[in-house]
Chain A
Amino acid sequence: MEEERRRLAEAISTAAADKAPLRLRGGGTKDFYGARLDGKVLDTRGYHGVVNYEPSELVVTVRSGTPLVELEKTLAERGQMLAFEPPHFGQGATVGGCVATGLSGPRRASAGSVRDYILGVRLMDGRGQDLHFGGEVMKNVAGYDLSRLATGSLGTLGLLLEVSFKVLPIPKSEATLRFEMDERGAIEKMNEWAGKPLPVSATCFHDGRLTVRLSGAEAGVRAAREKLGGESVGDAPAFWAAVREQTFEAFRGAEPLWRLSLRSATPPLGLPGRQVIEWNGGLRWIASRAPAQQMREAAAKAGGHATLFRSHDKAASVFHPLPKALFDIHLRLKKTFDPAGILNPGRMYEGF
C-alpha cells in the first residue's frame, strides 16, 4: 500500500506543480452529487483494506478506497455497524466517498451523522503532504478538529487516505411500525416522540403514511411498541434500505430532487412536488420542478437550507449560497489546504 500511497502523492504534487485540476474519485456512485466535476480522475480504489479493527474498542481504521459493503460486512461479522447508516447509491461506493460527501442515512436523527463518528483521518493535502489528524481514541482535543472538517468537504481540502470510525453494536432488537396520518400530524408526532425517552431510530413520512423504526434492547423496544401502537411492517429492512438508497418510488422520476434541511418542527411547506420526510421532520426530500428560488426561500424561512441533490440541470447553485463573510473564510481555508486549487475545483462552490 505504501507504493500506492506514493503514487497518489506523486499525482497530487505533479498536478499542483502544473496547476492541473484533479477529480478525486472512488466508485463514482456519488458523481451526481455536488456542483461541477472537473479535472483528471484520480482513482482511490487501489488504496484499500482495513488497517486496524478492534471490536472490543469499538474502533475501525480503514483505507479510503475500501468498498463500503466490505467494511459493513467486516463489522457485521462482529455484531457491529456504522451507526449513521450511510447510503451507498450504487455497488461500488467506497469509504472515502462516504466520508467526503458526509451523507448519512435514516438512523442519523437518533444516532448522529458521519462526522460524529469520525475519530481521526489521514489526509493528503493539495501539496501531496501526508497528514494525520485525530486518532483512534474516543476523545481528543489536541489542536484544531481538522478530521471533522474533512468530512463532507467533497474532496476539496484533501484526499482522504484513511479514516478511523467509532462503531457501535448492532441493536439487539428492532421493530417497524406504520401509522396512517396527514403530514401535519406526522411532523407533530415525530417531534413529540423525539422529545421523549423512546428508542426511535428512524422515521419516514410519505403519502399519508408515517413509518417509524424502534431499535435497542428487547425490553425497551417492546415497551415502546406497546406505547406507540400502529401497525407492524413486514419487510422492514427492505423498506429502510429503499429509503436510504432512494430506490423508493417517490425518489424516482425526471424532476430535480431537492434536499431541504430544516428545523424538525417546521410545519408542512406546501411546496409543489412529491415529498419524503425523514429525520423527525428535519430532512425533507422534494422532487419538483419548482424554481430554485422558491425552494431556497422556503428553506431559509424555516431556518435551514436547500440543496439541489440530484439534477441534470445545475444552473442553480447546488448548495445554498454563502454570505460574503463566510465565503471569504471558506476561501482562506481552501487555500491553506490546497494552495494550487487543484482538488475537485468547483465541486462545492464556484471559486474554490
Chain B
Amino acid sequence: MQSARNKPSAPRRTIPTELLQALRQRFGERFSTARAVLDQHGRDESPFEATPPDGVVFAATTDEVAEAVRLCGQHRVPIIAFGAGSSIEGHVLAVQGGITIDLSQMNKVLMVNSEDLTATVEAGVTRKQLNAAIKDTGLFFPIDPGADACLGGMAATRASGTNAVRYGTMRENVLGLTVVTADGKIIRTARRARKSSAGYDLTRIFVGSEGTLGIITEVTVRLYPQPEAVSAAVCSFPEVGNAVHTVIQTIQVGVPVARAELLDALTVRAVNRHSKTTLKEQPMLFLEFHGTPSAVREQAETVQEIARENGGEDFEWAVHPEDRTRLWNARHKAFHACIQLRPGARAFTTDACVPISRLADCIRETIEDTRTSSLPCPIFGHVGDGNFHCVIVADPNNAAEMQEAERLNQRVMQRALAMDGTCTGEHGVGMHKIPLLKEEFGDDAVDLMRRLKMAWDPLNILNPGKVVVP
C-alpha cells in the first residue's frame, strides 16, 4: 500500500553508474546491490512500506564511512546510516533512494574505563553487547529501548527506555561522539573528560539528529554502578488516574524510583491471553527501586502506603531476581502480546509525552477515543516521564484499517500538543511527524532547524526527507 503518509517529500534521485562502480571498486564484497540486501535495509519496525536504497556499504571503520560519504557527496546521492534497523518511525527508509551505510560490522567495544565510568564503543555495538562486556566491572549501561538497538542508532534517535525516570535518556548519557560530517570530515565532539566546555555542545545536537546532520561512528557513554539492591513492586488500580497519582506522589516525596511503568486494562488482557496468566484485567503499575537493601525496603513500604491511599489493590513486592522477573513478566511481554492480539498485523505505536499532571487525562481521553474504533489499541507507558504508547494494531493489507490507524495516531499527537506535550517523547520524528514539528514549535523555530540542516549539509545528502525538509 502506498499511502499519502508514506509518500516521499521529493522523488528518488538518480544514482550514477560511476558511483556504483566506484563503491564496488573501493568496498568489493562489502558493497551490495543484491535485492534481498536492499530490501532488508529498506525497512525498520515502523508500519511503513519497505523503501529500499540503491546500494548498501558495510563499513568497517570510521575512515571507510568518511570515504563513502565523500563519494556519495560528489554525486549528490543520499546516504542513510543503518544500525540494527529497529527504529519505529521510518528513520532508515531510503525515501529518495541512495546508498545505505550499514554500521553493524563496526561492533567493537573500544574502551571501558571502569575508573571514570565511561565506555567508548563503535556505532554497531548493541546495548546488550555493551552490558555483557562490562558485566564484571560492577557497572551497567541503563538505557533500554524495547529492541536490542545499537548505540549509534540509539544516539541518533535520542533513545530512552524504562529506566529514564532515574538515569535519563541518551541525551544525558552520551558524553562524546565521533561523527562523519556531510563533507566527509571526521570530528570528535568531546574529549574523554566528562565535561566539555570547549565550544558549543555539539554532542547534544548530533544526539537525536536521526542521521540528518552527520553519521555517528563511535559513541562514548556514561556507566553507572550496579545498585546494591533492587526491589520490584506491582499493584492493580481501578482507574488509570489512580495509578498515575501514585507515581506522582512517589516522586514528590523523593523516593528515587528507577522504573515506573503502567499497563492499561486492555494490555493486561492481551498479556493474559498471550501468556495464559490470570492477572486482574485492570490498570497495573510496575515499579522498581534501586539502592541499599534497607533503602529499597523502605521505599517499597512508602509506595505501598501511597498506592493504598490511591485505591491500589494486590500490592506485591520482591527483591530476589527470579521473583522480580516473575512480577515484571507482564510488562516485559506487553508489546509482543499486544501485536499478537491480531497475528500478522503491524503496529502503529504512538509516542505522546505530556506533563505528568495531564497524563491521566491524556490516557483516559485516548482510551475513550479508541474504544469506538474497530482496531485494538492497548496502552502502556513510562508514567514517571509522562510518556505513553498506544499500540494501534492494524492489517497492513487493509487500506481502510491503515488509514484508521493513522487517523487515531494523529489524534493522539494532537491531544498531546493541546496538553502542552510533544508528539514524540522517545521514538523520534522520522518521516511522518515533520508537519507536527511546526505545530509544536512554530514556523520560525522549525525554519531555524532547517537552516541549520542546510548549513551543515548544503547538498542535502544525509538521510534526506527526515526531521526537516528543505
Contacts and interface: CB of A to CB of B under 8 A. Distances in A.
Contacts of A349: 199
A59 B199 contact: no
Contacts of B423: 142
A335 B420 contact: no
Interface in A138-196: 138-146, 148-149, 151-153, 157, 169, 171-172, 191, 194-196
B67 to A, nearest CB: 16
A143 B116 contact: no
Contact of B200 (A136, A172, A333): A333
Contact of B157 (A115, A141, A172, A304): A141
Given A137-B355, A137-B386, A333-B200, A130 B444 contact: yes
B194 A282 contact: yes
B330 interface: no
Nearest to A339: B451
Contacts of A139: 160, 164, 169, 353, 385-387, 422, 425-426
The interface centre, meaning the residue of B139, B201, B299, B425 with most chain A CB atoms within 10 A of its CB, is B201
A315 interface: no
A208 interface: no
A54 B298 contact: no
Interface stretch (A6-14, A67-75, A240-248, A262-270): A262-270
A217 B78 CA distance: 53
Given A148-B201, A149-B205, A307-B197, A142 B292 contact: no
Contacts of A109: 194
A131 B422 contact: no
A121 to B, nearest CB: 11
Contacts of B117: 194-195, 264
A146 B206 CA distance: 10
Interface of A: 54-59, 102, 108-109, 112-113, 115-116, 125, 129-133, 135-146, 148-149, 151-153, 157, 169, 171-172, 191, 194-197, 216-217, 219-220, 223, 259, 261-265, 279-283, 300, 302-305, 307, 319-320, 322-323, 325-326, 329-330, 332-333, 335-337, 348-349
Nearest to B179: A329
B312 interface: no
A265 B115 contact: yes
Contact of B168 (A55, A58, A112, A323): A112
B453 to A, nearest CB: 8
Contacts of A108: 195
Given A146-B449, A279-B195, 8 more contacts: A102-B201, A125-B448, A132-B442, A135-B422, A141-B425, A305-B196, A305-B197, A348-B199
A223 B422 contact: no
Interface in B330-367: 353-357
B168 to A, nearest CB: 7
Contact of A195 (B225, B253, B294): B225
B457 to A, nearest CB: 10
B357 A57 contact: yes
A55 B251 CA distance: 11
Given A139-B387, A261-B196, A326-B187, A116 B172 contact: yes
Given A136-B355, A143-B429, A143-B467, A330 B209 contact: no
B350 to A, nearest CB: 13
B201 A152 contact: yes
Interface string B131-175: 000000011000000000000000001101000110011011000
Given A148-B171, A195-B117, A329-B456, A169 B253 contact: yes
B22 interface: no
Nearest to B171: A145
Contacts of A348: 199
B434 to A, nearest CB: 9
Contacts of A280: 116
Contact of A219 (B171, B292, B420): B292
28 contacts: A57-B357, A109-B194, A112-B168, A129-B444, A133-B445, A136-B420, A138-B385, A139-B169, A140-B425, A141-B425, A142-B441, A143-B449, A145-B171, A145-B207, A146-B448, A148-B204, A149-B201, A194-B117, A195-B114, A261-B193, A261-B196, A262-B193, A263-B193, A279-B195, A280-B116, A304-B192, A326-B199, A332-B456
B439 to A, nearest CB: 10
B186 interface: yes
Interface of B: 113-117, 138-139, 157-158, 160, 164-165, 168-169, 171-172, 181, 185-187, 191-202, 204-205, 207-209, 213, 225-228, 248, 251-254, 256, 290-292, 294-295, 298-299, 353-357, 384-387, 420-429, 433, 436-437, 440-442, 444-446, 448-449, 451-452, 455-456, 467-468
The interface centre, meaning the residue of A102, A141, A349 with most chain B CB atoms within 10 A of its CB, is A141
B354 A137 contact: yes
A44 B227 CA distance: 44
The interface centre, meaning the residue of A54, A108, A303, A323 with most chain B CB atoms within 10 A of its CB, is A303
A265 B113 contact: yes
B294 A219 contact: yes
A133 B181 CA distance: 24
Contacts of A54: 355, 357
Contacts of A140: 353, 422, 424-425
A141 B441 contact: no
B433 A142 contact: yes
Given A129-B444, A144-B467, A337-B448, A197 B200 contact: no
Contacts of B202: 326, 329
A132 B387 CA distance: 21
A133 B441 contact: yes
Nearest to A326: B187
Contact of B201 (A115, A135, A171, A300): A115
Nearest to A198: B225
A304 B193 contact: yes
Given A59-B355, A263-B192, A325 B199 contact: no
Nearest to A125: B448
B292 A145 contact: no
Contacts of A152: 197, 200-201
A115 B424 contact: no
B455 A336 contact: yes
Contact of A142 (B186, B193, B199, B429): B429
A139 B169 CA distance: 8
Contacts of B158: 141, 145
A145 B208 contact: yes
A320 B188 CA distance: 14
Nearest to B226: A197
B204 A325 contact: no
Contact of A197 (B171, B187, B192, B225): B225
A144 B256 CA distance: 29
Contacts of A216: 256, 295
A87 B223 CA distance: 26
A194 B194 CA distance: 13
A172 B115 contact: no
B404 to A, nearest CB: 24
A263 B429 CA distance: 34
A217 B441 contact: no
